[in-house]
Structure 1
Amino acid sequence: MEANRVKQILSSSAEIDVVYNGTSVWIDKLHEDEKRATVHLRGTLEERSEVDISELEEM
């Protein structure tokens, strides 16, 4: 995924499906380098991870 699309998803009021390693995630924040983002799993777990945005896929 590209940084501009991550920014669009973060500013959107719509629920946009994003997948990381086959798992549905929410994007919490795009980091200043615009190459990494903080995400967390959809659902009850609130564990956050920092990932390369190139590994995020929009469904």
Structure 2
Amino acid sequence: MDAKRVKQILSSSADVDVKYNGASVWIDALNDDQRTATVHLRGPRLEERTIVEIHELVEE
């Protein structure tokens, strides 16, 4: 995925299915370096956030 698509997903009201290492994640923010994003796993009470390289994110 690229920074432009991450920005589109963040500004969209649609529920976009994004995976990181096979797990569904929510993108919380595109980081200032434009190469990483802060994400957390989808699901109830899964609030632990992780910084990942955006090229590792896959839109399903």
Fold match, TM over 0.5? Answer: yes
TM range (shorter): over 0.9
Q: Which runs of 5+ in 1 are unaligned?
A: none
Once residues 32 and 20 of structure 1 are traced to their aligned partners in structure 2, the CA distance between those partners, rounded to angstroms, is 20
Aligned residues with identical type, % of pairs:
68
How far is 1:7 from its partner? 0.1
TM score, norm. by length of structure 2: 0.96
- Give the aligned partner of residue 16 of structure 2: 16
Q: Deviations over 1:6-52 (max 9, x none)?
A: 00000000000000000000000001110000000000211100000
Please give the residue correspondences for 1:15-34 in structure 2 after superposition, counting only pairs within 5 Å. Answer: 15-34=15-34
TM score, norm. by length of structure 1: 0.98
Count of equivalent residues = 59
Deviation >2 Å, runs of 4+: none
